[in-house]
Structures are given as structure tokens and as C-alpha cells.
Amino acid sequence: MIENKFQKILSKTIANIILIVVALSCLIPFVIIISASFTSEGEIIKHGYGMFPRGFTLDAYKMVMHSSGELLDAYAVTIYTTVVGSLLSVLMTIMAAYPLSRKDYKWQRIFNFYFYFTMLFSGGAVPSYILISNYLNLKNNILVLILPLMFNVWNTFLLRTYFQQIPSAMWEAAEIDGAGQFKILFQIIVPMSVTGVATILLFVMLAYWNEWYLCLMYMSNEKVITLQFYLSRVLSEIEDTVNNRSGTIAMNMDVSNLPNETARMAMCVLAAGPMMFVFMFFQKYFTKGLNVGSVKG
Amino acid sequence: MKKFTKTLAGILAGLTMLSGCGTEQATEGVETVTWYVPMLITGNGKQEVLDKVNDILETKYNLKLDLIGIDSGNYNNKMQVMNAGQEEYDLAFTSHWKNSYSTNVSNGVFYELTEEDLKKYAPKTYESMSDNVWKAVKIDGKIYAVPNWQIQTRAACIYTPKEFLDETGESLENIKTLDDITGYLRKVQAIHPNCNKIKAMWTQLMPYYNMIEIYEEKMPGAIVFNKEGKPEVINQYDTQEFTDYIDLRQDWVAEGLCTDKYLPDSNADKKEIKEEPIWVHVYSPGGDAILSQSRGYEMVFKQFSNAVMSSTGVTAALTGISATSKNPTAALKMIEVINTDAEVHNLLSYGIEGVDYVKTSENQIERKEEKTFRGVDNWMMGTIANTYLLSNQSPTLIEETKAFNDEAMPSPLLGFNANVDNLTLEISNCKTVINEYLEMLDLGLSDDAKLAEFRAKLDEAGVDKIVSELQSQIDEWYAAQ
């Protein structure tokens, strides 16, 4: 008995220690980034990064904010595309997943395959570009940041699996009571799969929030760029300067106005911050969602 | 249900509102030229500057410029997709290191520029550059882009604080080889024992070893000339020269001439001598003045290798006219305007006088701290000869650059532009290896075993294929001459 108890405590302790270590190794980089963004540049050069800001300063944030009303514009664009895009996207996904989940739907198999096929084969970058810019004429139109991401087959299949778990008796009963398909979907099926819908919502929100490629390809209007594109631009500009222009040209370059290390950290905080906040609210759905999806998917 | 419909309607209304972008109005007879450059153009004053440029262009030349700056890291990606998608535009920055000139030409991305066209629409630009420069941009005997005139020549150079020379009694005249530099470092060592004295990089020393880069200075594949004067492609990392250089760097570290640690100079009581005061780099006219100012103590310099003008020196900055352009003559005229109209070029590079910079002399300016416009570097769109110089640059920089370019020995391979399309896999493999090893080797911080490992990994990455492919391209080109 005693031995048993001891073993239990021991295994629990070990498990906890491992989890603590894992948790810390996830947490510490964030803390370091946040602390670095508040540290003065000189301190970082002298002492390196630390868990707590030495010589607390807001200079990096001032620099990132000051140098650009662009940052605020970028925030506005990203928030707009994220909110509008993810709502529309979830709506589309729900409406596509529902018929696919109904075994009594005549074309179910055909449409399943039709969707699945696009997961295996896609048009590729250049045809997509030609389609969007030449035929749909979406260049420099904010819709281009929303439409291409609006439908995701993987998400649809995930949601389909959720819907399939709902006993068929539920919608059969509703149908007998005279409910239309829309009513069944939005008043019975969706409320019963909140977890699944929330998971999808989180996925698409992340996708919209992190979007920069569409912006690179189709947006030449500097006023309408997404946050991640704004940041990736600044970062790639720095990296490129360091790596590529080492030769003849380097000496003629004015590198004085490139943002420095702490500014990069500040940008990192600005980019990830809001999403981390959102994540906290979604987490309870998210973990549940992952489990169900993986077992049944 | 109603509530839901309302929300949806609201969202859609918002969408249409934001998507209604204004259409541009074109004035009769004015030709708009779209120009892509790998540099962000930012600042609150951006619109004002571009409006001013367009005012001048419209009244003087009947042209309009639509300048689009893509951040340099994403530029390749964007241009590739645009070119493949046959997107319509007029001008784009191209070079051997960004938006690859030879790849684009082999894909038919650019218009061929005949001498007649150049003489007719861009006569001053055409005349301003020597035959060698034009020869360097030719592919199969045809010109596909206009060079932006800048330093087109490479030579190795040593920059050193003048104070060190005075203290050691050394004269720059005596420094002709790397061994001389070692001797000089030892003398400096006797006076400043604890500072990290020198910064040098293999890639900048290639002119010293008479190696000519072919497509990218770091990447394997360089040209040397054998005893019969025939060009031979080598893997520069597998040569006696590279071994010697790495040995030398290790010796420097062993002797304490160069370390990886930050060591404050205990003997520099007069002024704080920064880390790595001596710098082996490429020669840049007026470089001593720039360094003196940025470092706060007097720097002097001396070129210690031959100056060679190779194709890559010229193809480092070019402007090509897209084959999708509806109006290539207007595009060519636009190039001529940038190269001849100092007012336009200065506006694009530096912004508006009094707002973004102040003049310190006839042809020199100082940028304001709080400038509202960050423009295009002056070598990116046209000649550097007609823009202002910065106040820390030598006032005679243009003359010095011209002399340096003119005096340089033109490489016998001028006009050879390698095409590395078939080598993408090998090149990216080699890049990974080089990024992993070269810096440590370059700092003298690894041993011979590491060097052997580096070479073995390069072999694995397919360096032989790169060398033999380039060799066959060169042989073919050479035979055609």
C-alpha cells in the first residue's frame, strides 16, 4: 500500500515537473520578447536579453508607432478582414458542411469527392494570380484579402464530422415537425456543435490574422495592407540588407533608418498580442474541439 | 433568423463600401509608366513628393510615373509571379542578385533594346556609359536592360585608423599583401594588445585572389584564368587560396590579433577606439570620409588588389523594360529622364529640400532626422552621378568613381551572364551549407577538421554539378566570341 502511494506521488511529481518544464519553455520566450521590447537598445547590446527589462523604456514602441500611421492603418485593415472574413467564412463552412453530413443527401458522395479533390490538386501560384488579377479584377480591392481564404475544405470536413455525430433522430424529428432546412441547420445543428464551430472560427481567424501573401501579391495600395504584411516587410528589409547587399553597394546605403533589435521585439508583441488575447477565450472550446476532431476525423 | 439576416446584410454592405476604390483619371496624351523597385517608399510626405515629381514629368516630358516599391525581401517572389502571369507593367529593377536578369531574359520578360532605340530615346544615357558597360549587359549579343551607373568595379581595400599608422610608423604604401597586413597587425598589437583589431571577409577578398564571382559572391563557382589565359570555373572553397586564408585567420586568432570576444581597448585613453578598427572590404571611392564620420576618428584607406570590372559589377543594378509594356518607348524615355533630370532624381531619392534635407554645399546635402519621406536609393533607378551627395561623402565622389571605373581592367569575360536556372536545387543546398560554416571559418574560429567537413558537405550538396554547368556555359560563350 505504502509503496503504491509512493509510486503514485512519484509519477505525479515527475509528470508535473515535465509539464512545468514544457510550459516554461513555451512561456519564457514570450516573456523575453516582451521584456526585450521594453529594454533600451544599449542594454541589449551590452548584456543580451533577459527575463526582466533593464533600463525600462518605451522607445521601441514610440519608434514603431511614430514612424507610421501605417501601423494603425494596418491594424484597421487586419481587424476588418479578420472579423468580416471569419464570420463569412464560418457561415460558408457551416452551410457546406451540413449537406455533406447528411447521408440521405443524394449528391453527398459526389460533392465530398469534389471538395476533397481540391485538397489534393490546386491550380498553383501563377494560374491563381492570373485568375484573380486578370479575370476577377480583384487587384487593389480589399475583397481580395477576404475571398480567397473564405472557404477551406479541411475546415469543412472537420465540421462535417461534428455534424455527423448528432443523432439523425434530431433532424428527422424536426423535419416531421415541419422545420425547413435552414431552420434545422441554424436552430438545431449549429447550437448543438458550438464547440466545432468555435474551433473553426478560431482557425479561420488565425488564418486571416496571419495573412500577408495575398497582400503582397494583389495590393499595391500602401494604405490597405495587413498587419502581418507590414511587419514581414520591415523584417525582410532588414534581413535582406544584412545578407545580400554586402558588396559594392553596401557602402552607399543609408542603413541608419532601419529599425533596431528592440523595435523588432515590439512589433512582435504588437502582432501576436491581440491573437493571444483571443486565444484565451477560445481555449476551452479549442482543446475539446481538437480531441473530438482527432478521434472522429 | 431575422437577426441573422440583418447581420449578414450589414457585413455585405460594409464590404461593398470598402471595395469601391476610386478609378484613376488619365490626362490626354500623357503616358503613364509603371516602375517596380525593390525598396519600400514610405513616409507621410510620400504623396506630396510623388505629386511634385509627376508635375514636373507632365509639364516637361508628357510622362507620368507610377512608382511601386516592394520590400526587397519579397521583391523576387512578387516579380516572378507577375512575370509568369504576364502582368502589364513598364519598368522593373533587375540585377544578378535580385529579380535575376539572366533568368528574366531567358524567359522573355524584357524587351530587347537596340542601339537605334537607345540612341533615339535615351541618347544621353547611352553616351554616358562606356562600351565595356554596355558589353557587360549583353546576353547573346543583345541588350535587355539599361545599367544604372554606379561603382562597377571591384577591388580589395584596407581601411585603417590613421592613429594606428602614426603610432606604428607604418606606411600604407608598404601594404600590398595579406602578409603585409599581418605584419602591420603585429605592430598594432604591441601598442593595443587587447582590442579586436580587424574585420575581414573572404567574399571581399576574392579580387585579391584574382577570382571573379559569377552569379553570387558567396556561392560556389568563381572564375580564374589558367596559364594559357583561358577561363576556368572553380569551387573557390576547395582551393589552396581558401586553405591559406583560413589558416591565416586561425593564426590571427591564435596570436590575439583578432578574437571573437568584445575586448575594450585599455590603451585608447585619448579616444575610444571601437571594435574592429581595421577593415578589409571592397574599395569604395570616398569610403574613408564616410567611415571617418560614422566612427568619429580619422580613417585612411588603400586599395591592395587589381581593380576588375566584371559583368556582375555592371549587372548589380539594371532597369529592364517589361515585354508586357504597352508603351516601351515611353518607358525608355522615362529612364532617360531619371538619368538626365537631376531635379526628378533628387526628389525621388531624397524628397523635398527644407522638409527632408538641407543643402550643405552646392552638391551636398544633409538628411533631416525627422524627414517625412524615405525614397529610393539613388543607384536603384538611374545614375548616381546626377543626385546630391550626402554631407559625409567626398565632394568629388562622382569623379573618383568615374576614374575608378575607367581605370579598371575589364574582365575578359565581360558580357558573360551565367544562367543558373537548372541549378536551383544545388544552389539552395550549397547556400544552407555555406550559411552554416562560412562565418565561423571566416572568423578563424574553427579547425582544419571543420574545413574538411565544410568541403565534404559542399560536395554532397552538388557543387560539382554547379561548377561543370557553369564551365560549359562559359566554354560555349567563349567559343562564340
> Quick check: B284 and A251 CB within 8 A?
yes
In which band, very low, low, confident or very high, does the pLDDT at A27 lie, cut at 50, 70 and 90?
A: confident
| pLDDT tens digits, one per residue of B405-414 | 888 888 888 8
Distance, in Å, from the CA atom of A220 to the CA atom of A223, rounded to the nearest integer, reads: 9
What is residue A254's predicted lDDT score, i.e. its pLDDT?
39
CB A163 within 8 A of CB A297: no
What is residue A64's predicted lDDT score, i.e. its pLDDT?
66
Q: Which chain B residues are within 8 Å of A241, Cβ to Cβ?
A: 72
Distance from B169 to chain A by nearest Cα, in Å?
Answer: 29
What is residue B337's predicted lDDT score, i.e. its pLDDT?
95
Among A residues 221-250, those touching chain B with beta carbons less than 8 Å apart: 221-222, 232-237, 239-241, 244, 246-249
Distance, in Å, from the CA atom of B259 to the CA atom of B441, rounded to the nearest integer, reads: 13
In which band, very low, low, confident or very high, does the pLDDT at A42 lie, cut at 50, 70 and 90?
A: low
What is residue A87's predicted lDDT score, i.e. its pLDDT?
94
In which band, very low, low, confident or very high, does the pLDDT at B49 lie, cut at 50, 70 and 90?
A: very high
Q: Which residues contact A67 (CB under 8 A, 6 or more apart)?
A: A259
Placement of cell 501573401 in the chain: A213
What is residue A46's predicted lDDT score, i.e. its pLDDT?
64
Who wins on pLDDT, B163 or B374? B163
Helix (H, G, I), strand (E, B) or coil at A214: helix
Optimal mutation site among A249, A255, A256, A257, interface B, most CBs of chain B within 10 A: A249
**Mean pLDDT to the nearest integer, B246-269:** 67
In chain B, DSSP finds a helix count (H) and a strand count (E) of 18, 19
Distances in Å between the alpha carbon of A252 and those of B146, B147, B205, B287, B379? 20, 17, 19, 9, 9
**Mean pLDDT to the nearest integer, B264-269:** 38
Among B residues 196-225, those touching chain A with beta carbons less than 8 Å apart: 201, 203-204, 217
Residue B59 DSSP label? I
Instruction: Tell me: pLDDT of B339 over 90.
Output: yes
Least confident of A275-279, B137-141, B238-242, B359-363: A275-279
What is residue B26's predicted lDDT score, i.e. its pLDDT?
47
Least confident of A170-179, A244-253, A284-293: A244-253
In which band, very low, low, confident or very high, does the pLDDT at A222 lie, cut at 50, 70 and 90?
A: confident
Among A194, A171, A195, which residue's Cα sits nearest to residue A183? A171
Among B residues 93-152, those touching chain A with beta carbons less than 8 Å apart: 97-98, 150-151
Instruction: Tell me: pLDDT of B16 over 60.
Output: no
Who wins on pLDDT, A169 or B12? A169
Who wins on pLDDT, B225 or B64? B64
Backbone torsions φ then ψ of B158, nearest 5 degrees: -110, 130
What is residue A250's predicted lDDT score, i.e. its pLDDT?
42
Nearest 5°: the CA angle A235, A240, A246 is 145
CB B146 within 8 A of CB B127: no
Q: How far is CA A148 from the centre of its chain?
A: 15
> With pLDDT > 70 as the criterion, what percentage of chain A qualifies?
80
Q: Which chain B residues are within 8 Å of A150, Cβ to Cβ?
A: none
Instruction: Tell me: pLDDT of A55 over 80.
Output: no
Distance, in Å, from the CA atom of B314 to the CA atom of B150, rounded to the nearest integer, reads: 8
Q: Which chain A residues are within 8 Å of B202, Cβ to Cβ?
A: none
In which band, very low, low, confident or very high, does the pLDDT at A289 lie, cut at 50, 70 and 90?
A: low
What is residue A110's predicted lDDT score, i.e. its pLDDT?
92
Q: Which residues, in sequence order, are bridge partners of residue B224?
A: B232
CB B320 within 8 A of CB B100: no
Among A residues 88-117, those touching chain B with beta carbons less than 8 Å apart: 88, 91
Q: How far is CA A136 from the centre of its chain?
A: 26
Who wins on pLDDT, A288 or B67? B67
Q: Which residues, in sequence order, are bridge partners of residue B302?
A: B158
| pLDDT tens digits, one per residue of B170-189 | 888 888 899 999 999 999 88
| pLDDT tens digits, one per residue of B434-475 | 888 887 888 888 888 999 999 999 999 999 999 999 999 999
Q: Domain A64-296 sits in which CATH superfamily?
A: MetI-like (1.10.3720.10)
Residue A222 neighbours by CB distance under 10 Å: 17
CB B324 within 8 A of CB B87: yes
**Mean pLDDT to the nearest integer, B189-197:** 80
Distance, in Å, from the CA atom of A273 to the CA atom of A283, rounded to the nearest integer, reads: 15
Instruction: Tell me: pLDDT of B403 over 60.
Output: yes
CB B254 within 8 A of CB B459: no
Q: How far is CA A259 from the centre of its chain?
A: 26
Helix (H, G, I), strand (E, B) or coil at B36: strand
What residue in A sits closest to B36 (Cα-Cα)? Answer: A220
Among B residues 346-375, those touching chain A with beta carbons less than 8 Å apart: 367, 374
Distance, in Å, from the CA atom of B171 to the CA atom of B156, rounded to the nearest integer, reads: 18
What is residue B463's predicted lDDT score, i.e. its pLDDT?
92
Instruction: Tell me: pLDDT of A21 over 80.
Output: yes
DSSP string computed for B254-302: HHTSS-SS----TT--SS-PPSS-EEEEE--TTHHHHHHHHHTS-EEEE
CB A41 within 8 A of CB A259: no
3-class DSSP string for A155-179: HHHHHHHHHHHCCHHHHHHHHHCCC
| pLDDT tens digits, one per residue of B271-305 | 344 567 888 888 888 788 777 777 778 889 999 88
What is residue B17's predicted lDDT score, i.e. its pLDDT?
46
What is residue A191's predicted lDDT score, i.e. its pLDDT?
86
Burial class (CB in 10 A: 0-12, 13-18, 19+), A121: exposed
CB B191 within 8 A of CB B169: no
Burial class (CB in 10 A: 0-12, 13-18, 19+), A261: middle
What is residue B442's predicted lDDT score, i.e. its pLDDT?
84
B157: enclosing H helix or E strand: strand B156-161
A152-173 burial by CB neighbour count: b if 16+ within 10 A, else e? bbebbbbbbbbbeeeeeeebee
CB B200 within 8 A of CB B251: no
B97, B98, B102, B103 alpha-carbon torsion, rounded to 10°: 120
Residue B472 neighbours by CB distance under 10 Å: 11
| pLDDT tens digits, one per residue of B50-75 | 999 999 999 999 999 999 988 887 88
B107-136 burial by CB neighbour count: b if 16+ within 10 A, else e? eebbbbbeeebbeebbeebbebbbebbbbb
In which band, very low, low, confident or very high, does the pLDDT at A146 lie, cut at 50, 70 and 90?
A: very high
**Mean pLDDT to the nearest integer, B211-228:** 84
Q: How far is CA B12 from the centre of its chain?
A: 47
What is residue A45's predicted lDDT score, i.e. its pLDDT?
61
Average pLDDT, rounded, for chain A: 80
> With pLDDT > 70 as the criterion, what percentage of chain B qualifies?
90
Among B215, B199, B217, which residue's Cα sits nearest to residue B207? B217
Least confident of A65-79, A176-190, B311-325: A65-79
Distance, in Å, from the CA atom of A234 to the CA atom of B367, rounded to the nearest integer, reads: 21
Domain ranges of chain A: 2-57, 64-296
Distance from A143 to chain B by nearest Cα, in Å?
Answer: 7
Cβ-defined contacts of A61-69 (< 8 Å, 24+): A61/A37, A61/A266, A63/A259, A63/A263, A63/A266, A64/A259, A64/A263, A64/A266, A64/A267, A64/A270, A67/A259, A68/A230, A68/B42, A69/B44
**Mean pLDDT to the nearest integer, B98-111:** 90
H-type alpha helices, B443-462: 448-461
B386: enclosing H helix or E strand: none
C-alpha cell, B438: 562560412
Domains and CATH numbers, chain B: 31-149+314-392 (3.40.190.10)
> Quick check: B85 and A143 CB within 8 A?
no
Among A216, A211, A217, A215, which residue's Cα sits nearest to residue A129? A217
